[in-house]
Chains A and B, each alone.
Chain A
Amino acid sequence: MQEKELLPHLFRTEYRKIISVLVRHFGFEQLTNAEDIASETFLIAAETWGLKGLPDNPVAWLYTVAKNKARDLLKRNQVFRQKVTVAIRPDEKIIPDTDIDLSDENIRDCQLQMMFAIADPVLSLESQIALILRILCGFGIEEIADAFLTSKETIHKRLTRAKEKLRTEKIKIRLPAAVEIPHRVNAVLTSLYLLFNEGYYSSSSNTVLRKDFCLEAMRLTLLLVENEQTSQPGVEALFALMCFHASRFDARTDENGEIIRYDEQDSALWNDELISRGHYYLNRSSRGGELSRYHMEAAIAYWHTIKNDGKEKWENILQLYNQLLCLQYSPVSALNRTYALSKIFGKQVAIDEAEKLGLTNNHLYHVLLGWLYTGLDDLKAREHLNLAYRLAKTDRERLLIQKDLKKLENLGI
C-alpha cells in the first residue's frame, strides 16, 4: 500500500477499535474523551510519520500512543477522584486500572458489547445507525451526512443527543444475559439491516462510500455470527441475505455509478464466492423452528441469484413474498410481489393487482406501472413514468426514470 493511502486506511480500520476498547474501559460518560484520544492519536501519527517516516509496525505504534494518552486521562481522573471524590465519599475504592487491552480478542468483544449497547430502544433507529457508523465503523461526520443526504450539522446534533442519552440513561457496555440475547439481538439486527440497506439503496452519489456501508454492516453481522452466544438462526439468515445482495455489487452499477436494474444486469458479473457463502449461512440458519423476516428475505435473495429466469424461480419468489407480506407489510415488498406476479401471470394480471395497492404517492409504484404498461398501453406507461418523475425525491432516481422515458420514446411513441 502507498504511504499516503496507509493513514486513511488505518484510520478506517483502527480508529473504531481504539474507540470501542476505550469506551468499554471508561464507560459512555467518557465517550467524547475516547474520541479525542483516538483522533489525537491519528493526528500525532500524521505529524510524526510525515517527519520521520513510517514505523515498523504502524498499528502497534498507534495502539501504544493511544494507550499512553488513555493512561494520562486515567491519571487526571484519578487525581480528580482522589482529591475530590474521596473527600465527598471516603468509602469509594480507587482501583488504579490502567491496563488498556488492545488484543484482537478484546477488540472483538468490545465491538460486540458496544453493538448491544447502541441498539438500545432508548435511542431512535436513525441515532443508532449514526452511532454505529461513527463509533463502530469510524466514518466521519461528513461521510455520514453524505449518505443520509443531510447536513453535517444535523448529523452532529443527532450524535451529540444520542451520546447524551447513552450517558443519562447509564447504558452499560456489555453483552445481555444469555437468556435475554435472543430477544435483544433483534434490535441489533434491525440496525445492521438498516445500515446495510442505507448503503445498498442509498441515493447518495458516492458509490464507494455506499459499498463501504454494506461491507461494514457485513463485518459487524459476521462478529455476531462468529460468536457462540450471539449466533442465532436469524443472525445467520441476515448474513446470508447480505451475502446474496452483495454478490451483485459489481453488476448493479455502471461506470458512472448509476444503478443498473436487476433485469438488465450482466449476471456474469455476479460474485459466485459471495453467493456460495450465502448458501452456507442460509443452510445454517434453517436449524431450529424460527422463521424470521430475514429468513424469508434471504430466501428471496437466494432465488434472485439463480440465473435461469424461468417460472420456477418466480413462483418461489412470489410465494416467499406472500409469506413475508403476511408476516410484515412494506410497500417495497408489495411492489416486488407484483413484479413477481407479472413474471408468472403476465403484465395484465400484475396491473390489476398493482392498482389495488393504494400506493399512488410512491414513485416506485409509478415506475413499476410504467414498466408494466410498456408494450400494452404506451401512453399510460408514459403517464406513470411522468408521475414517477414528479414524485421522485432525488436526482439519482429522476435520472433513472428519465432513462425509462427515453427508452419509451425510442420504441416510437
Chain B
Amino acid sequence: MNEFLLIFRRDYETPETQPSPEHLQNMMKDWQNWMGSIAARNKLVSSGNRLADEGKVVKPGALITNGPYVEIKEAIGGYILIRAESIDEAAEISKGCPILTIGGNVEVRTIIPMTL
C-alpha cells in the first residue's frame, strides 16, 4: 500500500461560479459521506485540513503579496492523505470527491516514503 496526497482545488474568485448557500449546505454531507466511505475501507490516513481564503505568497526579495490567486484563479481549498494499492486506485477514489460537482478538481500525488 502506498500513500497519496489528494489536493482539492477550485476557483474561489469568479462570482458567477460560486455555489449557492443551499448547495454548500448539501455539500457538507457529501464530503462527510465521501470521507466516511474512504475511512470505511480503512484507506484514510489523515483527514488533512481545510484552508481559509486568506493567504500570502512570499517571493524572493522580501516580496509578499496577498493571496495565492494572482496568476491563476484556482486555489487549494484543502487536502487529505489516503492509502491505496496504486495511483490508479487513488485516482478512482478521487472520482467521488464532491469538489468535482462544483467545477473543482483533485490532484493526486504519490507520497515518497521517508523510510525505504
Contact = CB atoms under 8 A, between A and B. Distances in A.
B36 A357 contact: no
B29 A334 contact: no
A327 B61 CA distance: 43
B42 A323 contact: no
A303 interface: no
Of listed B36, B39, B44, residue having the most chain A CB within 10 A: B36
Interface stretch (A77-85, A147-155, A247-255, A314-322): A314-322
Nearest to A330: B42
A322 B44 contact: no
B32 A334 contact: no
A326 B35 contact: yes
Of listed B39, B40, B41, residue having the most chain A CB within 10 A: B40
A322 B37 CA distance: 7
B44 to A, nearest CB: 6
A338 B32 contact: no
A353 B37 CA distance: 7
B40 A334 contact: yes
Contacts of A326: 35-36, 39, 44, 47
Interface in B40-67: 40-42, 44, 47
A341 B12 CA distance: 32
Contacts of B29: 315, 319
A325 B34 CA distance: 12
A338 B39 CA distance: 12
A262 interface: no
A401 B30 CA distance: 34
A337 interface: yes
A218 B21 CA distance: 45
A337 B36 contact: yes
A322 B39 contact: yes
A172 B33 CA distance: 46
A358 interface: yes
Nearest to A353: B37
B26 to A, nearest CB: 12
Contacts of B33: 318, 322
A358 B41 contact: yes
A357 B41 contact: yes
A4 interface: no
Contacts of A321: 36, 40
A323 B39 CA distance: 9
B37 A318 contact: no
A325 B33 CA distance: 11
Given A323-B36, A325-B40, A356-B41, 12 more contacts: A319-B36, A322-B33, A322-B35, A322-B36, A323-B32, A325-B44, A326-B47, A329-B39, A334-B39, A334-B40, A334-B42, A337-B36
28 contacts: A315-B29, A318-B33, A318-B36, A319-B36, A321-B36, A321-B40, A322-B32, A322-B33, A322-B35, A322-B39, A323-B32, A323-B36, A325-B40, A325-B44, A326-B35, A326-B36, A326-B39, A329-B40, A329-B44, A334-B39, A334-B40, A353-B37, A353-B40, A356-B40, A356-B41, A357-B40, A357-B41, A358-B42
